Structure 1
Amino acid sequence: MAGLAESGSNPDVDLLYDINGLAKQAPPWFDRIMEYVGEYGLLLAMVLLVLWCWWGVRRRGGEDAASSVAALVWAPLAAGVAVLVNAPIRGFVERPRPFYDHEGLEVLVSGKTDYSFVSDHATITMALAVGLFVANRKFGLVGLGIALFEGFCRVYMGVHYPTDVVGGLALGTAVALLLSPLAMALLTPVTRAIERSPRAGWLIRARGRTDGQQDTLLPGARSGATGPEERDLAA
């Protein structure tokens, strides 16, 4: 099944030219920035966001620390599973990159010879974002914004059709959500066992942090405030 969208009157192709046309109008230095951001930067940002969320979870502690860390572990695993699922999809659809079938595109990244549908970058970032949303909604919303921007960048760079991106966002979401219950059932006992470990427990909660210490903090209080005055007020 070669080429889901061929030349001619096609909304997918029209939107491709509209978005990629912005790259033609932009100065070269801006296109170089978009190239690195779309190819590497946003993926790195998603990884750092997951690590930032994990750092906050372990510092905050609480009874749900182990399950929250399990959800964070699932985020990169979901991205890996989604990429594996995408491999046969690409082989079945066999959709060429848009610059092979459509002239006049501003292609910012050379050397792309694999198939176009579904976008791996969109799939990975969305799977990470949805997995992160399961663990923490605030961080997850930021991740969803990054994933959507990643999809825009792939079309802007001239290496994917808009429907490649939509397919990747849908695939990443489906894998992260549908397999989440099974993943949590398998990963949570592991993180709880790590939490009880004297050597590896720091991966789940910061040393010295206890559930009772967290419960005594008032909303808006400093995370490090654990003196007797704060305990009295909380009581």
Structure 2
Amino acid sequence: MEFAILDSLQKIHTPMLDTIMTSVTKLGNSGIIWILTGIVLLCIPKYRKGGVLVMLALILNLILGNLILKNLIARERPCWIRDGIELLIAVPRDYSFPSGHTMSGFAAATAIWFTEKRLGIAAFLLAALIGFSRLYLYVHFPTDVLAGAVLGILVGIAAKGLLGRKKIKQNTE
């Protein structure tokens, strides 16, 4: 069933969508967009605690998703199994489950949502788009992306719990 979904996405490829999806997926490479967002939040006094929360969520995400789960589960990627698909990006070398791009996006988006609801909604939309790009590009199974989203949200919640129940957004005096 998962290959059926991935194969159906191959039918909607256009040069414009290919360009958009490869660009969107690059935003998630190494969590760069989320790291930069955390740094920006750290630099704004009003949102400094939110920046700390984003960075903590990303660290927890790295440990749980990339260092533990990917290696423990060791799921092959769809592009490794069906090598006849022409990829628009380099073949990833690490395992497939969970999607690290998606997991980091949802972990950071959850942290941002705790800081500023409107920014959080925009971050969730970007995280979802990045997750979809991983399917479009044939480098993850749908369950990899779904698990990445759920685990990312849980990691964001855990990061909030680790920082305590204090209100994240600082009051401006």
Q: Quickly name the TM-score band, shorter chain normalised.
A: 0.7 to 0.9
Counterpart of 1:153, as a letter, is: S
* Aligned residue runs from structure 1 range 64-83, under 5 A: 65=46, 68-83=47-62
Residue 124 of structure 2 is matched in structure 1 by 144
Contact 1:21-1:105 within 8 A present in 2 as well: no
1:84 maps to: 63
Instruction: Give TM-score, length-normalised by structure 1.
Output: 0.62
Query: How do residues 5-154 of structure 1 correspond to structure 2 at under 5 angstroms?
Result: 10=1, 12-23=2-13, 26-27=14-15, 30-40=17-27, 44-47=32-35, 49-50=37-38, 58=45, 65=46, 68-86=47-65, 87-102=67-82, 104-154=84-134
- Summarize the Cα distance change of 1:41–1:115 in structure 2 as closer, same or farther, 3 Å threshold: closer
| 2:160 equivalent to 1:171 | no
Distance 1:94 1:47 in 2: 26
Match of 2:162 among 142, 159, 182: 182
Code of the residue aligned with 1:40 in structure 2: it is L
Q: Which runs of 5+ in 2 are unaligned?
A: none
Letter of the 2:3 partner, please give it. V
Distance in 1 (CA, whole Å) between partners of 2:12 and 2:144 is 19
Q: How many corresponding residue pairs?
A: 171
Tell me: CA distance 1:79–1:21, structure 2 relative to 1, closer, same or farther (3 Å): farther
Q: What displacement does 1:19 show?
A: 2.1
TM-score (norm 2): 0.82
**Whole-Å separation in 2 of the counterparts to 1:51 and 1:126:** 17
Pick closer, same or farther for the CA change 1:133–1:14 going to 2, 3 Å. same
Q: Find the aligned partners of 2:126 and 2:135 in 1 and give their Cα distance.
A: 15
Gap runs ≥5 in structure 1: 1-9, 59-64, 189-203, 212-235
Is the Cα contact below 8 Å between 2:42 and 2:52 reproduced in 1? no
Amino acid at match of 2:24: V
Cα distance change on mapping 1:33 and 1:41 into 2, 3 Å? farther
Q: Which letter does structure 2 place at the counterpart of 1:112?
A: P
Higher relative contact order (CA 8 A, sep 6+): 2
The whole-number CA distance in structure 1 between the counterparts of 2:10 and 2:73 is 23
C-alpha distance in structure 1 between counterparts of 2:87 and 2:25, whole Å = 12
Whether contact under 8 Å (2:57, 2:107) holds in the other structure is: yes
The separation in 1 between residues aligned to 2:97 and 2:33, in whole angstroms, is 24
CA contact (8 A) 1:79 1:172 kept: no
Sequence identity, in percent? 25
Paired letter, 2:55: P
User: What is the distance in 1 between the residues matched to 2:93 and 2:36?
Assistant: 29
* Secondary structure of 2:124 counterpart: helix
Shift of 1:107: 1.6
Change (3 A) 1:84 1:54: closer
Report the more deviating stretch, 134-143 or 171-180: 171-180
Larger Rg: 1
| 2:24–2:129 CA contact under 8 A, matched in 1 | no
